[in-house]
Amino acid sequence: MNQADILRFDKVTRLEGICVEELFLNTFLRNNDLKISNSWWASKKMNSFHIVKHVLNKLTELDVEVATKFAKYAEVYFVKKIDDQFRFHHFLPNDEIPDINNGISNGRLLPIQRSQLSKKIVSKEHEERMTKVLSFLKSIDADLSKIVESRELANYYGSNIMWDIDYFVKFEDRLIAFEVKQKYPSTKETFGLNKGSYSILKFLYDIGFNVQHIILTKPIRNRHHSAIELLEGSFRSQSKWLAHTFNETSFKSNISSSPKYTSFSQKRPLNYYSESSSNFVELGSIDDSSPKTLNEYLESH
């Protein structure tokens, strides 16, 4: 099964979200002097977090710095795909860094079962949207092999719900976490953040990360337009990058519920908190933004 086929059976809305994350990477981080760490995942068991660092190439100094910080407050695992299997290594605060590049000899095996995805029947609309996703990712030179492996991990890591933490960067002496979304404001001029994502961002904030909530605005409120359509043509110039520094007062309004179609499973309403759009700072449109724009924002936030 080739890369396109593996992605073809995945959740199309999630892959459209990855397009926005990759666009953020391409716009603000790729040609920046900042050190970047990505491919992080979080799951919550009872009242504690489990953090997974998916090692796609080699562990970097920033990867290790982030993992060491996490290990003081959560269970941390390095995971690497070896011979078509994922191996997990439990990382403790005082551990030596494992030689990930030569395999994880004491790691737990998690076989990949691609056949589960290939049995899924997809609709014509799904096919059309997926074609646009693949075309867009290629247009911005996204690494499809990394995206495929990341989706394999997310789909087959047990039965736990996993949230991805999009990017970490080292800016001056601060560790900054980015959560990137594409949304339009509500009729009350607020942006929603689902309960699961809120718990992750609050955890990151509580343990000392500078947390940036980044939104690429949707120029129209019409769910029949795919996310990719809103990144192209006449809509492109109307989309704006917004940023908000998460803090103890963020998203403190009463919890609300949105329609079933907005949730990942589309089977139950989505519980979310709201933040006023007036608390976000505009970074610019898709084509007018640059690494300099982001760095100037981070200097004061």
DSSP the chain: --HHHHHHTS-HHHHHHHHHHHHHIIIIITTSSSEEEEEEEEEEETTEEEEEEE-SS---HHHHHHHHHHHTTSEEEEEEEETTEEEEEEE-TTPPPP-GGG--TTPEEEE--THHHHT----HHHHHHHHHHHHHHHHTT--HHHHHHHHHHHHHSTT---EEEEEEEEETTEEEEEEEEEE---TTSEEEEEHHHHHHHHHHHHTT-EEEEEEEE-SS--TTS-TTGGGSHHHHTT-EEEEEE--TTTT-SPPEEE-GGGSSSSSSPEEEEEEEGGGSEEEEETTT--HHHHHHHHHT-
pLDDT band at 111 (very low <50, low <70, confident <90, very high): very low
Selected residue with higher pLDDT from 52 and 160: 52
10-14, 267-271, 295-299: range with lowest mean pLDDT: 267-271
Domain count, the chain: 1
Say what the pLDDT of residue 112 is: 45
Higher pLDDT, 193 or 3: 193
Q: Binning pLDDT at 50, 70 and 90, where does residue 224 land?
A: low
pLDDT at 267 over 70: no
Per-residue confidence (pLDDT) for residue 84, from 0 to 100: 77
Residue 301: per-residue pLDDT: 93
Of 99, 47, 107, residue with least CA distance to 77: 107
pLDDT at 285 over 70: yes
Q: How many helices (H) and strands (E) does the chain have?
A: 9, 13
298 has a pLDDT exceeding 70: yes
- 24-54 per-position pLDDT tens digit: 999 999 888 899 999 999 988 777 888 999 9
> By percentage, how much of the chain surpasses pLDDT 70?
79
Q: Is the model more confident about 7 or about 174?
A: 174
pLDDT at 255: 67
Closest by Cα among 47, 45, 27 to 290:
27
Q: Would you say residue 69 has pLDDT above 70?
A: yes
Instruction: Count other Cβ atoms within 10 Å, centred on residue 219.
Output: 15
Ranges of H-type helices in the chain: 3-8, 12-24, 61-71, 115-118, 124-139, 144-156, 195-206, 233-236, 291-299
Token pair recorded at residue 75: 């269970």
Query: Tell me, what's the pLDDT at 236?
Result: 83
Mean pLDDT of 286-301: 92
* Token pair in block for residue 88: 């997990």
pLDDT tens for 13-25 read 889 999 999 999 9
Q: How many CB atoms lie within 10 A of CB 115?
A: 8
pLDDT tops 50 at residue 115 = no
**Mean residue pLDDT across the chain:** 82
* 98 vs 183, more confident: 183
Quick one: pLDDT band at residue 67, thresholds 50, 70, 90? very high
Range of the domain at 261: 3-299
